[in-house]
Structure 1
Amino acid sequence: MEQIRNLLTLLKNSKGKIFVMVVSSFVFLFFLFPFDDLSDLISSQVSKMTNNSFYVQFERLKMSLFPTPGVKMDQVYIESIRTPALSAEELVITPSVAGIIAQKPYGHVSAKGFLKGDVDLNVGKGSRSENGIERQKIEVSAKKISLHDLRGLANIPVLLKGQVNLESTALADLTFQEQPDVDLNMTITQFELPPSNVNTPMGPLTLPDLKLSAVELKGRLAAGRFIIETGTIGKPGDELYGTIKGNIGITIVNRGGSFGQQIGAYNFEIDLKAKKAFQDRAALFLTFIDGYKTPTADGAQYKFKVSANNAMMPPSISPAR
């Protein structure tokens, strides 16, 4: 008992020294420690933990304590066996204190210069599903993303150009035992489609070059089905302008830690107005819907429905009411 009393007395008399020691430790750790030298060590550890399927490299690493703990990396380069190489000018990771305590992936991630744009990601606790499965609330905001670079990441076979702005909120079980609920609001500006060929269930199809002021899409994914609430192609004055609504089956599948999607049945109703210049340039492409054309003063209007039971079979085209 006497030893405990002496220890407490020593701590009380040395509290100034202890305070200085703690502050000095934090100053050294967060301001003087050479974190940049950890780049090779972190890269090797990430590769080791992912069986050499994931590689990360960066130039500078900084840590912060206030207002919240976080890590900042500059000139980040990421390679994966499943995706093209990715890079970001700046990557900031701010984990949630509540998430750290609960051992959950909660927090905020921001990436500047990612796909030539800026991305913000927030992950927090979400409501449970009707079956009682725990879900996370995921909020994504992306600005001025390069559609050309995004196309490479999504493995889209058609050349595309433009800038993507996106706002999305999702409730998802990250193991995807159940399908997520997602709200999506996306705008593509300065859209360009160079002349290209694409394989379809009906054979190779030649796509004409096309430039649009904007493409807008608002929809939601629920129970494995994406419903387009508002879809606008182009703007009045563009060579092609119209609307699209309908739905398509999209199921996210967990293949042993590797995630993919399955495309199911779809049903779309499309209303397009094409100017004469685009009609002449896209004569072959428009042949498939020529039967649903109504001539106008400066071109034609096409109103039709397109549907199929899956993405691998030829679609059925019929007049729209």
Structure 2
Amino acid sequence: MNKEQLKKYLGIFLKIVLPCFIVFSFLLFPINDLSGIISQKISQATQNQLSLEFSKIHLNFLPKPALELEKVSLSTPQFSTIKMASLQIAPSILGLITLKPGVTLYGEDVFGGNLDFSLRSGGSNGKSGTKQVVQASAQNIALDEVLTFLNLGIKGSGNLQLNLDSNLDPAGTDTEAEVKLDSRDINLPENNIPTQIGAVTLPPAKISILQLEGNLKKNKFKISRGSIGKDGDTIIGSIEGTIDMRVAAGPQGPQIVPTGYDLILRLRLKNNFLDAFALKPVIENYRTSQTGSESVFNLSLSASSMRSPPTITKIQ
């Protein structure tokens, strides 16, 4: 066998035989037997902070190679269990192109909707190592399921859309992010909201649309757009300003913690909503004007800590 024939047969082996062998090995391998091992390893890697259970695991090759888990449950000590119909895990295509390893996740029927998530290595900040590029989008998320998951003690219904594009610094000093939130058809029944002065009853409210856009840079989240409601809703208005954020490194990755804030609120509240509000005697002192059916509040709120009472000033 001469060199040209050897090169030809080696090419056939690498291009046809070896890929077919790998594919059939995966197809024949009893991959479902790994479910217990996978759950155990995830629990160990997160120091029992995350528990993963699923009914079935298999490989997909079209439209892209991915590992798919069915009937998935994710549990943490802090929150309620997340359930989804399926979870697909695949290598990041962009990460492969740029030679920066990454992973993409696609969850189906998460909080009633779908969730896309990707994580890959980003650029280096020269101090604390490599940043992590995190992108996420959520479509048709049910507000009531999110509120139940967060254990906020607040009831409500609505539809949420969320987009996140971020560059996380592991040291927490140079994280950047852009966030877009769009929520429709929000209906809040009467709720008892826990506050520093005790539970406060919030009357029922209807908000047709809530939109929020902002960006995080140099530990400040700037709200570039914040609109609340439309004509006929219980609450109509806008919000703008900044929220100070502290990004700290943790055992499960960077954690973003809000600290102080400096906000401007311009609100129109239905008078029947205000009349049923337990704090009406307090907040009506900040009323800017009043019509037959609405009260107008133009306020500046600021505080150096989320636990401190805000400084409230009427503005025009």
Q: Which TM-score applies when normalising by structure 2?
A: 0.85
The aligned length equals: 315
Pick from 151, 160, 163 the counterpart of residue 156 of structure 2.
160
Superposed counterparts of 1:172-321, under 5 Å: 172-173=168-169, 175-257=170-252, 260-282=255-277, 284-293=278-287, 294-321=289-316
Partner SS, residue 83 of structure 1: coil
Q: Which runs of 5+ in 1 are unaligned?
A: none
Residue segments in structure 2 that go unaligned for 5+ positions in a row: none
Give 3-state SS (helix, strand or coil) of 1:135's partner.
strand
Structure 2 residue 134 is matched with structure 1 residue 138: yes
Q: Secondary structure at the match of 2:244?
A: strand
Distance 1:85 1:109 in 2: 18
Match of 1:60 in 2: 56
Alignment check: 8 A CA contact 2:46 2:252 kept:
no
In 2: Cα distance, 1:104 partner to 1:15 partner: 28
Greater alpha carbon shift after TM alignment, 131-140 vs 97-106: 97-106
How far, CA to CA, are the matches of 2:97 and 2:240 in structure 1? 44
CA deviations 1:73-114 (Å, max 9, x no partner) are 111112233432112111111113785799965132111111
Shift of 1:123: 2.7
* Shift, 1:238, TM fit: 0.7
What is the letter of the counterpart of residue 291 of structure 1?
Answer: N
Alpha-carbon distance between aligned partners in 2 of 1:76 and 1:259, rounded to the nearest angstrom: 25
| Whole-angstrom distance in 2 between the partners of 1:181 and 1:203 | 36
Deviation track 1:215-266 (CA, whole Å, cap 9, x = no partner) reads: 1111111222211111111111112211111111121222444654433221
Alpha carbons 2:52, 2:72 under 8 Å: kept: yes
Give the counterpart letter for 1:117 in structure 2.
G
Distance 1:288 1:72 in 2: 54
SS at match of 1:28: helix
Residues 250 and 263 in structure 1, CA contact (< 8 A), matched pair in contact too: yes
Question: Corresponding residue for 1:69?
Answer: 65
Given the two structures, how large is their TM-score scaled by the length of structure 1? 0.83
1:170 aligns with 2:166: yes
Q: Which letter does structure 1 place at the counterpart of 2:273? A: F
3-state SS of paired residue (1:61):
strand
Counterparts of 2:221 and 2:11, CA distance in 1:
61
Identify which of 70, 93, 96 aligns with 2:92: 96
| Number of the residue aligned with 2:113 | 117
- Over alpha carbons, which structure has the higher Rg? 1
- Give the whole-Å Cα distance in 1 for the aligned partners of 2:224 and 2:22: 52
Letter in 1 for 2:41: Q
Distance in 1, Cα, partners of 2:301 & 2:91: 45
Question: Residues 266 and 27 (structure 1 numbering): CA distance in 2 closer, same or farther, change over 3 Å?
Answer: closer
Q: Distance in 2 between matches of 1:17 and 1:33?
A: 22
Q: Which range moved further: 221-230 or 252-261?
A: 252-261
Instruction: Report the AA paired with residue 292 of structure 1.
Output: Y
Q: 1:104-150 CA distances to partner (integer Å, 9 max, x unpaired)?
A: 65132111111221111123343444868532322211111122232
Q: Which moved more, 1:131-140 or 1:287-296?
A: 131-140
Give SS of 2:155's match: coil
Q: Which position in structure 2 is the counterpart of 1:86? A: 82
Paired AA for residue 34 in structure 1: P
Helix, strand or coil: the match of 2:130? Answer: coil
Q: CA deviation at 1:39?
A: 1.9
Q: Matched residues in 1 for 2:94 and 2:271: separation? A: 60
